[in-house]
């Protein structure tokens, strides 16, 4: 077997292993709860509203129904969430297959199995990165480096380990970039695309949009690059260049992609204003600065990440600061070396096209992201989720830049370098090895829940509730039933599911003196003038005294024997905003 392919097997195996490691370690956050519900063919609106129930009843939406179908998955997804269905259809098939071989004792899906679907699909990006790197740079070495960097990318692993569609979307974006790089080279040389590349590219783009709507950002950036090339060629050769076969085939790719996007128009209508849109107030200076900072972090986290667990002790804070300083110092030293590598890449005729293709794509998509953030007033850089639209190109560009360093084994020549405050020179190969090692360490941070922690942390909120409650606990939350086109109850259920997974009341040492109770208040309109009466009525039969924790605040319940608790009356813990009452109606 060719040595390059042996390395590809190693990187593919490593990428798969990392993505499948510790899948159940992190708690499920609300978007993953939605994935679980739709994957088993249930609706998020199937909650026991306006009644106090136990843990088993509140988890009804997360319980396998007798005969779920893929049609149920698509129906509820389209009705409530409006995401494209491809990933959820695959997740349904995977979860049901897993359930048939390993039946759930408690009737709930396995969180590890749910995440494994995304992890497996995300791991396919590793061999695809090899193909793209090799095709773009005409170098098996560049392909191997692209596969290696993708395998250990902490950002890629974090996205792939979520029970969401980002892992599959990243893989399809990588495949689309491969087609883009091949097409760029052929336009560069005025060669035909060929039917295989044309049809394959359209198919990949269609599958990408059927996975996540924001893949259109990738396609837009690709189109912008070819638009710029067209303008250059028109100035050099005149308008007739645009009727050459290669351009006609590119028009076909554009038309086919546009038609595949247009097929989803009925779902796209009215998407604005849904919970998928991240509006920002451009009158605030932070709305202008945050996208820049978050984009820089995305580029850094593609290769390296510091430890970012919660700094609840001085030691933890010190660890966070030290790892941040190490990562920043590494990037400050690495950037000029990467620039030198890209300059060297541009001097090699056969590899120049790949560098220009990937580099120009990244410039274009940065313009696209800036247009959405500042022109549309939507900060899509928040949370780093939507970086799937371009982060594969970052690893590909890094691979091209580093490929010139690997052949140099001795610490001398133009590829040698030094570490600040240390005069010893190191070889170019050592630079590549250190970059990969730091990436692997960062990947281990991610899979061990030391970095890329979930924004919502029920594993922090639940012990907090236990520590600050002196009576039996009732957890309550208002749920907007009037928003039919929205997944509801998923934040509330993320708490209940984590209680079921790691704080089961039936187990000794769970921290519960009494099993917690749950109350989902169904709101029929945005304003509920009698909300206090409805909560009071729902709690009328609840044995007193008890501690009432209401997510997202709550009304004045003094008339119903509930007063703000002296201990932690309100606040935010684990990103759960709460109000805490002590209730004793008979007192």
Q: Tokens 């098996």 label which residue?
A: 140
User: What is d(CA 100, CA 540) in angstroms, rounded to the nearest whole number?
Assistant: 43
Shared domain for 287 and 146, answered yes or no, is: yes
- Domain annotation covers residue 10: no
* Sign of torsion over alpha carbons 107, 113, 118, 121: negative
Structural domain boundaries enclosing 428: 120-269+279-447
Asked if residue 468 lies in contact with residue 580, where contact means CB atoms within 8 angstroms, the answer is yes
Total count of domains within the chain: 2
User: What is d(CA 33, CA 28) in angstroms, rounded to the nearest whole number?
Assistant: 7
Q: Is the peptide bond before 407 cis (omega within 30 degrees of 0)?
A: no
Mention every residue, 6+ apart, whose C-beta is less than 8 A from residue 331.
300, 304
How confident is the model at residue 271, as a pLDDT? 62
**Helix (H, G, I), strand (E, B), or coil: what is residue 305?**
coil
Shared domain for 417 and 293, answered yes or no, is: yes
Shared domain for 433 and 352, answered yes or no, is: yes
Whether pLDDT at 489 is above 80 = yes
- Domain annotation covers residue 292: yes
**Helix (H, G, I), strand (E, B), or coil: what is residue 521?**
strand
How confident is the model at residue 529, as a pLDDT? 66
- Domain annotation covers residue 141: yes
User: What is d(CA 13, CA 167) in angstroms, rounded to the nearest whole number?
Assistant: 16
Whether pLDDT at 251 is above 80 = yes
Mention every residue, 6+ apart, whose C-beta is less than 8 A from residue 150.
11, 15, 125, 126, 129, 156, 174, 392, 395
Q: Which of 422, 447, 472 is the last residue of a domain?
A: 447
Shared domain for 389 and 520, answered yes or no, is: no
pLDDT in tens, 91-134: 999 999 998 888 887 889 999 999 999 999 999 999 999 999 99
Shared domain for 435 and 475, answered yes or no, is: no
Q: Which of 399, 425, 447 is the last residue of a domain?
A: 447
Greatest mean pLDDT among 140-144, 328-332, 477-481: 140-144
Shared domain for 329 and 240, answered yes or no, is: yes
269 pLDDT tier (thresholds 50, 70, 90): confident
* Sign of torsion over alpha carbons 517, 522, 528, 533: negative
What is the full DSSP assignment across 130-169? HHHHHHHHT-HHHHHHHHHHHHH-HHHHHHHTSSSSHHHH
272 pLDDT tier (thresholds 50, 70, 90): low
Helix (H), strand (E) at residue 418: strand 417-419
pLDDT in tens, 436-476: 999 999 999 999 999 999 889 999 999 999 999 999 999 99
Shared domain for 512 and 409, answered yes or no, is: no
DSSP 8-state symbol, 567: S
Q: Is the peptide bond before 545 cis (omega within 30 degrees of 0)?
A: yes
Four-point Cα dihedral 356, 357, 360, 364, nearest 10: 180
- Domain annotation covers residue 492: yes
Mention every residue, 6+ apart, whose C-beta is less than 8 A from residue 544.
561, 583, 584, 585, 586, 587
Shared domain for 201 and 264, answered yes or no, is: yes
pLDDT in tens, 322-343: 999 999 988 988 898 899 999 9
- Domain annotation covers residue 427: yes
Over pLDDT 90: what percentage of the chain?
68
Helix (H), strand (E) at residue 197: helix 195-209
422-426 vs 52-53, strand pairing mode: unpaired
pLDDT in tens, 184-204: 999 988 889 999 999 999 999
- Domain annotation covers residue 495: yes
Query: How much is the mean pLDDT over the chain?
Result: 91
275 pLDDT tier (thresholds 50, 70, 90): very low
Shared domain for 181 and 127, answered yes or no, is: yes
Shared domain for 356 and 441, answered yes or no, is: yes
Q: How far is CA 494 from CA 262, 460, 499, in A?
A: 35, 12, 9
How confident is the model at residue 421, as a pLDDT? 63
User: What is d(CA 480, CA 258) in angstroms, rounded to the nearest whole number?
Assistant: 35
Shared domain for 389 and 471, answered yes or no, is: no
- Domain annotation covers residue 61: no
Shared domain for 380 and 313, answered yes or no, is: yes
pTM: 0.94
How confident is the model at residue 547, as a pLDDT? 96
- Domain annotation covers residue 34: no
Q: Which of 413, 447, 481 is the last residue of a domain?
A: 447
């Amino acid at each position: 077997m060719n040595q390059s392919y042996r390395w590809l097997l190693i990187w593919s195996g490593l990428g798969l292993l990392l993505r499948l490691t510790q899948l159940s370690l992190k708690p499920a956050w609300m978007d993953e709860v939605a994935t679980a519900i739709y994957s088993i063919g249930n609706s998020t609106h199937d909650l026991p509203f306006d009644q106090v129930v136990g843990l088993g009843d509140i988890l009804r939406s997360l319980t396998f129904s007798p005969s779920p179908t893929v049609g149920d998955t698509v129906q509820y997804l389209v009705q409530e969430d409006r995401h494209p269905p491809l990933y959820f259809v695959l997740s349904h098939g995977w979860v049901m297959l897993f359930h048939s071989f390993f039946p759930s004792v408690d009737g709930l899906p396995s969180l590890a199995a749910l995440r494994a679907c995304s992890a497996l699909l995300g791991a396919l990006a590793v061999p695809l990165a090899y193909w793209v790197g090799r095709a773009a740079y005409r170098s098996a070495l560049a392909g191997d480096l692209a596969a290696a960097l993708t395998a250990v990318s902490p950002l890629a692993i974090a996205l792939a380990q979520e029970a969401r569609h980002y892992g599959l979307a990243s893989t399809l974006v990588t495949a689309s970039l491969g087609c883009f790089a091949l097409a760029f080279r052929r336009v560069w040389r005025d060669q035909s695309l060929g039917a295989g590349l044309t049809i394959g590219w359209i198919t990949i783009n269609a599958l990408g949009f059927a996975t996540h709507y924001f893949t259109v950002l990738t396609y837009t950036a690709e189109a912008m690059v070819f638009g710029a090339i067209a303008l250059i060629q028109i100035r050099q050769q005149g308008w007739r260049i645009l009727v050459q076969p290669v351009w006609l085939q590119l028009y076909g790719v554009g038309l086919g992609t546009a038609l595949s996007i247009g097929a989803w128009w009925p779902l796209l209508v009215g998407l604005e204003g849904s919970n998928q849109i991240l509006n920002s107030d451009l009158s605030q200076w932070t709305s202008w600065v945050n996208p820049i900072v978050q984009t820089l972090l995305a580029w850094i986290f593609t290769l390296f990440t510091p430890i970012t667990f919660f700094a609840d002790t001085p030691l933890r804070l010190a660890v966070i600061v030290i790892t941040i300083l190490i990562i920043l110092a590494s990037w400050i030293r690495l950037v000029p070396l990467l620039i030198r590598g890209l300059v060297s890449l541009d001097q090699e005729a056969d590899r120049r096209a790949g560098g220009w293709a990937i580099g120009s794509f990244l410039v274009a998509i940065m313009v696209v992201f800036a247009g959405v953030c500042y022109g549309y007033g939507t900060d899509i850089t928040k949370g780093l989720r939507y970086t799937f639209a371009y982060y594969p190109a970052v690893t590909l560009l890094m691979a091209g830049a580093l490929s010139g360093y690997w052949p140099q084994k001795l610490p001398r020549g133009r590829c040698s370098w030094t570490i600040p405050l240390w005069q010893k020179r190191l070889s170019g190969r050592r630079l590549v090895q250190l970059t990969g090692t730091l990436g692997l360490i960062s990947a281990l941070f991610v899979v061990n829940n030391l970095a890329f922690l979930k924004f919502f942390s029920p594993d922090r909120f639940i012990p907090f509730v236990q520590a600050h409650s002196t009576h039996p606990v009732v957890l309550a939350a208002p749920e907007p039933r009037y928003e039919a086109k929205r997944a509801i109850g998923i934040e509330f259920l993320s708490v209940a599911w984590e209680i079921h997974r790691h704080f089961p009341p039936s187990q000794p040492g769970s921290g519960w003196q009494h099993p917690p109770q749950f109350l989902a208040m169904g709101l029929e309109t945005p304003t509920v003038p009698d909300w206090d009466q409805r909560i009071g009525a729902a709690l009328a039969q609840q044995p007193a005294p008890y501690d009432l924790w209401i997510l997202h605040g709550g009304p004045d319940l003094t008339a119903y024997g509930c007063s703000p608790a002296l201990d932690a009356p309100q606040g935010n813990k684990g990103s759960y905003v709460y109000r805490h009452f002590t209730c004793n109606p008979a007192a």
